[in-house]
């Protein structure tokens, strides 16, 4: 088949009938497939089941420093947990604060605290200001945007380029407007584009001249070890870059083992300057006596060292790489020559970002839904759920089986073609 | 020995020399004993070690409803967890929201959310009001008061009586002042007095006429199954009482397994009306994808049912009852006939509340500290750390061994006597 945009109206209508036929066949199969959320598959979760066995009633239930992991205490994590995550994130153990099972929770609470108390160095709690704004490189992660909506933080869309956010836009905005207090970033294998920020982008972030002296980068390094290839992307260390640029307190890094061990029972961490962490710890000490240390010990004893964790991540890649390949090969074979869609081919992470013709994404998602294939809602990858070009669709290939995924992609590709023809015919 | 208050100045001075001698001997022993926090002892924690073995790689890692406990999801808890806590707290499973490892965290977040968003039925977020006040029956739990301080909530002391807070004061205050939005209660085996609220007190709470239509009772039922005797105290069901009184949304109940299984790796819960929980769930869904479900399964499979949990609590009592008895018998034998101190003898919970002569508590705590015995800071049981009569000392007997406890109590009793004599001589 050829480029849709070169077809005549009659040719398009002919094709429309054929595709509608195909669509109706799929629809009649009563499919129930889900590509909506970045969830690990059961096989991936199986990889960590032995973690349940390494801390048993027969084991010594003490941390390196003698702490009884069963009792209260350990506000910011066990020494070995801080060391382990420090190595993963290339920061000092003293720059790591260990949380509960959810890095999203740490992000939410960091914003919540900033609203009440400001951040280290703030003159005024953010919530006392007439207006607080965050920059949101988009497409981006819907749950980041949801936190802003919850706290009534105005979101400003910044375009994503192939090497990260459009830094010209970012630089101009933060220099001019002191109500801009933060920016959300997924710097490695970004959600959903799968892009890793270039060294230049990282340096420009570190060197930003911000009008707000308490401007912060929310650096969600969720996919830092989640490679799909043997030639993984490299991300420059933002904390070091910020220190060098004279902005040592600028960045909050977040990460977790949710997509390393168990999605619901992993460990979330916040890494930042000691000034930032000490500022938080005072507040956190009013909130909790400490996170679950038994689960920390479980993780540490399961992995023993970061080399083993990296080997573990290769097993994940073995399971999910074929799924990414399936999605990409379907996109290529079904949509590759038609000039109606474009997509990224990521080296890691959890998503493939598909752009349709303008104004088609909602229709595609609806058509797929009616045929039993659930996708992330169109618009979800933009603040307020509003994709200005209505074209971005986030594909999450990890949870379904390869077989299900093939079926789901067949449906999706027909839906994209149908919506595109409808669009072209309506012109 | 006899009543100190009947002794002459010379007799007191003579006694002072003897006691100082005794104190100096203790001091020279280089003791390092801690009665400051309500922590379970290692032996108590041992009781739950088999909980680590009931969820292993060989087990089916699914909940009753088929949920894979390893993956994301389950915002408010697994069905069996809600059912289990529903039975413990005598509420419907639909009235239970399961959290992470800390009920303190749930309390903190409940206050934090109320400040930002109000509670169900609020006209205005509490944080937007010129002033928010909480009633604080005192002596009470220092960490409750710390949450109020963090959020700049003004605390009003309400006296504790033998059957709970002074309800005449409570009724008068909440009826007159609509800036009073909440009250902290530990209704069973209260911290520190060990008092259980009477049915009348519970009913008066449920029936309160509050000027603020969004007034809430923060009902920290931390010690609901933590009995020390075979004749446990009975606490009337506040949620039912509130429903009957036409205030179904008035109460937030909190509880946890922190002092049932592991202090650092238990399960915290919030129980309340479905209206309240639905209001919270919308906000919590922006904060986390859900709490640790593997740990929920671990608890459920370990206990199987509430009967087993009750049997388990008897094993705790076997360990800690002798410690409470030691403290009480030391108090009785050393201070019982001297008219310088009074204390409660609780049927459960974690504390013994000691009242010295007015203006002696700080000196006692300091003297003990210098002799190597750490107690909860004097004043900690009152808002802002200010005990107006400077007389209350919270004794936490569970963590030290019986041997350590005996030594610590010997020191404490000498300190109380010394401080009392100093006080009597200064008159």
Residue whose tokens read 């970061």:
A306
Which strands, in side-by-side order, build the sheet including A96-98? A96-98, A268-271, A251-256, A216-220, A180-185, A133-138, A154-161, A164-165
Residues comprising chain B, all counted: 427
Residues B134 and B208 in one domain: yes
User: Are B116 and B137 contacting, i.e. CB atoms less than 8 angstroms apart?
Assistant: no
A283/A318 same-domain check: no
Q: Residue B55 domain-assigned?
A: no
State whether residue A364 is helix, strand or coil.
helix
**Is residue A55 assigned to a domain?**
no
Is there a domain that residue A49 lies in?
Answer: no
> CB-hemisphere CA count at 13 Å for B66?
0
> Rounded to two decimals, what is the model's pTM?
0.97
CB contact under 8 A, A39 and B69: no
Distance from CA of B247 to the nearest CA of A (A): 28
Q: Do B45 and A71 touch (CB under 8 A)?
A: yes
In tens, the pLDDT along A294-342 reads 999 999 999 999 999 999 999 999 999 999 999 999 999 999 999 999 9
CATH of the domain at B248: 3.40.640.10
Rounded (to 5) percent helix, strand, coil in chain B? 45, 15, 40
The domain boundary, picked from A304, A329, A344, lies at: A304
- Same-domain status, B89 and B198: yes
Residue B232 shares a structural domain with residue B186 = yes
Inter-residue contact A88 to A256 (CB < 8 Å):
no
Q: Is the separation of the CB atoms in A325 and A376 below 8 Å?
A: no
Domain end among B269, B304, B339:
B304
Nearest one of B269, B182, B258, B256 to B217, comparing CA atoms: B182
Question: Which CATH number belongs to the domain containing residue B408 in this structure?
Answer: 3.90.1150.10
Contacts of B258 in chain A (CB under 8 A): 72
- Cβ pair A146:B286 closer than 8 A: yes
Of B304, B338, B364, which residue sits at a domain end?
B304
Residue A147 and residue A205 in one domain = yes
Do A124 and A188 share a structural domain?
yes
Give residue for tokens 């220190």: A243
Q: How many domains does chain B have?
A: 2
With tokens 């009592």, the residue in question is: B317
Is there a domain that residue A51 lies in?
no
Q: What is the dihedral of CA A403, A404, A408, A410, to 10 degrees?
A: 20
Separation of alpha carbons A314 and A337, rounded Å: 33
Instruction: Kindly report each contact of residues A206-210 with a partner whose C-beta sits within 8 Å and lies 24 or more positions away, as own/partner.
Output: A206/A238, A206/A241, A206/A242, A206/A244, A206/A245, A206/A247, A206/A250, A207/A245, A207/A247, A208/A170, A208/A171, A208/A174, A208/A175, A208/A247, A208/A250, A209/A171, A209/A174, A209/A175, A210/A174, A210/A175, A210/A178, A210/A180
Does A401 share its domain with A353? Answer: yes
Residue with tokens 């104004």, as numbered in its chain = A359
- B27 and B162 both lie in a single domain: no
In a domain, B53, yes or no: no
Helix (H) or strand (E) holding A137: strand A133-138
- The three-class DSSP label of residue A404 is helix
Residue A281 sits at the chain B interface (C-beta within 8 Å):
no
Nearest CA in chain A to B74: A264
- Residue-level pLDDT, tens digit, chain B, 427 residues: 579 989 999 999 999 999 999 999 999 999 999 999 899 999 999 999 999 999 999 999 999 999 999 999 999 999 999 999 999 999 999 999 999 999 999 999 999 999 999 999 999 999 999 999 999 999 999 999 999 999 999 999 999 999 999 999 999 999 999 999 999 999 999 999 999 999 999 999 999 999 999 999 999 999 999 999 999 999 999 999 999 999 999 999 999 999 999 999 999 999 999 999 999 999 999 999 999 999 999 999 999 999 999 999 999 999 999 999 999 999 999 999 999 999 999 999 999 999 999 999 999 999 999 999 999 999 999 999 999 999 999 999 999 999 999 999 999 999 999 999 999 999 8
A27 domain-assigned: yes
Classify residue A202 by burial, with Cβ atoms within 10 Å: 0-12, 13-18, 19+: buried
Residues of B in contact with A102 (CB under 8 A): 288-290
Select the residue of B39, B57, B115 nearest A49 (Cβ to Cβ): B57
Q: Tell me, what DSSP letter sits at residue A273?
A: -
Q: Do residue A84 and residue A203 come from a single domain?
A: yes
The yes/no answer to whether this complex scores an ipTM above 0.90 is yes
Calculate the alpha carbon distances from A391 to A135, A137, A208, A382, B189 in Å: 21, 16, 31, 11, 60
Pair A283, A389 in one domain: no
Q: Is residue B263 part of a domain?
A: yes
CB distance B292–A292 less than 8 Å? Answer: yes
Residue A378, token pair as written in the block? 């169109």
Domain, as residue range, for B420: 4-44+310-425
Which DSSP helix (H) or strand (E) runs through B374?
strand B373-375
Q: How many CB pairs under 8 A join A and B?
A: 158
Whether residue A274 sits in one domain with residue A128 = yes
> In the numeric block, which tokens belong to residue B284?
């919590």
- Residue B369 CA to residue B391 CA, distance in Å, equals 16
Assigned domain for A192 exists:
yes
Residues A271 and A384 both lie in one domain: no
């Amino acid at each position: 088949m050829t480029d849709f945009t070169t077809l005549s109206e009659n040719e398009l209508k002919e094709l429309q009938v054929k595709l509608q036929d195909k669509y109706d066949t799929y629809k009649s199969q009563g499919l129930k497939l889900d590509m909506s959320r970045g969830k690990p598959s059961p096989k991936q979760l199986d990889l960590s089941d032995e973690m349940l066995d390494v801390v048993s009633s027969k084991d010594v239930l003490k941390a390196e420093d003698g702490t009884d992991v069963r009792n209260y205490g350990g506000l910011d994590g066990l020494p070995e947990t801080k060391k382990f995550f420090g190595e993963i994130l290339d920061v000092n153990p003293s720059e790591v604060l260990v949380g509960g099972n959810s890095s999203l929770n740490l992000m939410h609470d960091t914003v919540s605290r900033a609203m009440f108390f400001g951040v280290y160095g703030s003159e005024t709690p953010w919530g006392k200001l007439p207006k607080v704004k965050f920059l949101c490189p988009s497409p981006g992660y819907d749950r980041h945007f949801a936190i802003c909506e919850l706290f009534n933080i105005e979101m400003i869309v910044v375009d994503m380029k192939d090497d990260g956010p459009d830094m010209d836009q970012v630089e101009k905005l933060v220099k001019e407007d002191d109500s801009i207090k933060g920016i959300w970033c997924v710097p490695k294998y970004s959600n959903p584009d799968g892009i890793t920020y270039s060294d230049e982008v990282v340096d420009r972030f570190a060197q930003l001249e911000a009008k707000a002296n308490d401007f912060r980068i929310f650096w969600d390094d969720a996919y830092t070890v989640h490679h799909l290839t043997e030639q993984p992307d490299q991300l420059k260390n933002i904390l070091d870059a910020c220190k060098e640029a004279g902005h040592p307190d600028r960045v909050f890094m977040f990460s977790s083992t949710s997509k390393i061990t168990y999605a619901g029972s992993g460990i979330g961490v916040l890494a930042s300057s000691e000034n930032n962490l000490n500022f938080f710890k005072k507040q956190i000490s009013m909130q909790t006596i400490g996170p679950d240390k038994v689960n920390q010990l479980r993780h540490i004893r399961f992995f023993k060292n970061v080399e083993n964790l990296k080997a573990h991540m290769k097993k994940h890649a073995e399971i999910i790489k074929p799924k990414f390949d399936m999605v990409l090969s379907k996109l290529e074979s079904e949509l590759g020559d038609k000039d109606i869609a474009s997509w990224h081919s990521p080296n890691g992470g959890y998503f493939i970002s598909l752009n349709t013709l303008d104004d088609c994404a909602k229709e595609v998602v609806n058509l797929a839904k009616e045929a039993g294939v659930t996708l992330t809602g169109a618009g979800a990858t933009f603040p307020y759920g509003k994709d200005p070009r209505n074209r971005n669709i986030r594909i999450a290939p990890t949870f379904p089986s390869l077989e299900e995924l093939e079926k789901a992609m067949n449906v999706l590709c027909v839906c994209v073609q149908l919506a595109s023809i409808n669009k072209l015919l309506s012109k």
